């Protein structure tokens, strides 16, 4: 959508009392502006609508989630369940997955997969992922392990 016209139209509709669920691109500044004027939900695309390309810019989507008080709903680009899981892991409040379901080889199976992926992604978001590290770090704690070497001998 044209960002200038989008903001103008959304502002007019909010001022006239409409509940505005605004579809937008993944620009964090634009999303913040739409949130500030009172849109009830900000709905950024993950990639072009109907493309099934997933989330092209997870960093912008995460920034939008962090700086927006309105619910954030991923509104385009979902091609499979893992795209929906990633959106939820990034903190989105919801996902629209129309093309992913309706154009799948087995729509009922894809609908179930997306539902489960949304649940898993939301649980993972609330559980909190481990920090990313450049170097390996052992996962077995040393505390409580047997001391097999007698340093006094």
In this prediction, residue 151 has a pLDDT band, given cuts at 50, 70 and 90, of: low
Per-residue burial over 39-59, b if 16 or more Cβ lie within 10 Å, else e, is bebbbbbbbeeeebebbebee
* Domain 3-127 homologous superfamily, CATH: Aldolase class I (3.20.20.70)
Predicted confidence band of residue 150 (pLDDT cuts 50, 70, 90): low
pTM: 0.84
CA distance 76 to 46: 6
Segment 8-66, tens digit of pLDDT: 999 999 999 999 999 999 999 999 999 999 999 999 999 988 889 899 999 999 999 99
pLDDT at 112: 97
Q: What is the pLDDT of residues 67-84, one digit of tens each?
A: 999 999 999 999 999 999
In this predicted structure, what is the pLDDT of residue 91? 97
The ranges assigned to domains in the chain are: 3-127
Long-range contacts of 100-106 (CB under 8 A, 24+ apart): 100/52, 103/52
94-138 residue pLDDT tens: 999 999 999 999 999 999 999 999 999 999 999 998 888 898 888
Q: Give the pLDDT of residue 153.
A: 58
Residues 6+ apart with CB under 8 A from 95: 73, 74, 78, 83, 84, 87, 88, 114, 118
* CB under 8 A, 24+ apart: contacts of 145-150: none
Residue 144, pLDDT above cutoff 80: no
> Rounded to the nearest 5°, which phi and psi values hold at 94?
-170, 170
pLDDT at residue 85, rounded to an integer: 97
């Amino acid at each position: 959508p044209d960002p200038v016209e989008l903001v103008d139209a959304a502002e007019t509709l909010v001022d006239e009392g409409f509940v505005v669920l605004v579809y937008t691109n993944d620009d964090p500044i634009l999303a913040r502006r739409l949130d500030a004027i009172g849109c009830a939900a900000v709905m950024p695309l993950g990639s072009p609508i109907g493309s099934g390309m997933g989330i092209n810019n997870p960093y912008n989507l995460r920034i939008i989630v962090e700086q927006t008080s309105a619910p954030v709903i991923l509104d385009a680009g979902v091609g499979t369940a893992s795209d929906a899981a990633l959106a939820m892991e990034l903190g989105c409040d919801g996902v629209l997955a129309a093309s992913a379901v309706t154009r799948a080889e087995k729509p009922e199976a894809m609908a179930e997969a997306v539902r489960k992926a949304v649940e898993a992604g939301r649980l993972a978001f609330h559980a909190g992922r481990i920090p990313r590290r450049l170097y390996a770090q052992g996962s077995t704690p040393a505390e409580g392990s047997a001391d097999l070497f007698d340093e006094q001998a």
